[in-house]
Structure 1
Amino acid sequence: MSTQARLLHLNRSSLYYQPRPPSAEEVALKHRIDEIFTQCPFYGYRKIAEQLHREGRSVNKKTVAKYMQKMGLMAIFPGPNLSKRAHQAGIFPYLLRNLKAEVSDHIWGVDVRHVSANGIPVETGEDETNAAKSLLKPLQDIHEMLPNLKMLLN
């Protein structure tokens, strides 16, 4: 056996090692961690350790982290760089740059990402960019006619 271990570049003690099965307490703890994680998938190892502590089980957070890693559990959380703009999205011009709000209700905003009629979502058949442009076109026409309307009213 020692010759085989030497040829395989292994320690002899590793050939005789028999792993122990997990204890009943460890299995019960892993089941409870899984239940908590299923109920609240946004909990990390610290929150799960706090929850277990509230339930009367004194478990170290490092132990919870180790078991979660072994079970392949990872909390749901936002990733990095969420504030960076998507380069594939178009850049829209700012139409109000040289416009001063002189009276109340002079400048209005419209959110055209979700269009509905009588509470039913309307499928525009276009992507969001083209749908926004087609819905904003009448507003742009009115904006262009405002100087002429002011001249007529004076």
Structure 2
Amino acid sequence: MINRKDALPITRQCRLLDLSRSGFYYTPRPVSAKDLELMRQIDEIHLAFPFYGSRKIRDELWARKHNVGLDKVRRLMRRMGIEALYVKPRLSLSYPEHVKYPYLLRRLEINRANQVWITDITYIPMAKGFCYLVAIMD
């Protein structure tokens, strides 16, 4: 949105867009080859042990002869969007203002095809990315 050739100075354009000038001039550094290798290793460990946090992943990297600190592992995990999978507290509590719909099949006798359908969807992590699996049953 900022035009360098405009008559309006860049300082003023940044102020109008509520953008800092340092943010405008900043160019991100590319990820180093060493960090890319660490990120590949972290992803491999996370796929094998999705419940490992940054400390366990750091310990696993140490076992693989990578001399890396906890802060670096945390930073790379955050950059990759990886976090440990574990039971988080109070997730099964329903929100009191949400509508609770009744179960309509409770007393229904199901005795023919195409009478009741059910569907489910799940997320499957893959070696490179992820995929969704959808099942529709009669």
What TM-score do the two structures reach when normalised by structure 1? 0.47
11, 19, 36: which one pairs with 2:20?
A: 11
Query: 1:81 Cα deviation (Å)?
Result: 5.9
Deviations 1:51-89 (CA, angstroms, capped at 9, x unpaired):
11122212111221222222222222233369xxxxxxx
Deviations 1:70-112 (CA, angstroms, capped at 9, x unpaired):
2222222233369xxxxxxxxxxxxxxxxxxxxxxxxxxxxxx
1:54 partnered with 2:63: yes
Instruction: Report SS of the residue matched to 1:65.
Output: helix
Q: CA 1:6–1:52 in 2, change beyond 3 Å: closer, same or farther? A: same
Q: CA 1:80–1:8 in 2, change beyond 3 Å: closer, same or farther? A: closer
Deviations 1:118-151 (CA, angstroms, capped at 9, x unpaired):
xxxxxxxxxxxxxxxxxxxxxxxxxxxxxxxxxx
AA aligned to 1:9 is D
| CA RMSD of superposed structures (Å) | 2.3
The structure number with the bigger radius of gyration is 1
AA aligned to 1:17 is Y
Structure with the bigger percentage of strand:
2
Higher relative contact order (CA 8 A, sep 6+): 2
Cα distance in 2, alignment partners of residues 64 and 31 from structure 1: 12
Q: Which runs of 5+ in 2 are unaligned?
A: 1-9, 92-138
25, 44, 48: which one pairs with 1:35?
A: 44
Instruction: Report SS of the residue matched to 1:41.
Output: coil
Give the percent of matched residue pairs that are identical in Structure 1 and Structure 2.
Answer: 43
Instruction: Report SS of the residue matched to 2:12.
Output: helix
What TM-score do the two structures reach when normalised by structure 2? 0.52
Which residue number in structure 1 is paired with residue 33 of structure 2? 24
AA aligned to 2:25 is Y
Which residue number in structure 2 is paired with residue 144 of structure 1? none
Query: 1:44 Cα deviation (Å)?
Result: 1.1
Q: Which runs of 5+ in 1 are unaligned?
A: 83-154
Count of matched residue positions in the alignment of Structure 1 and Structure 2: 83
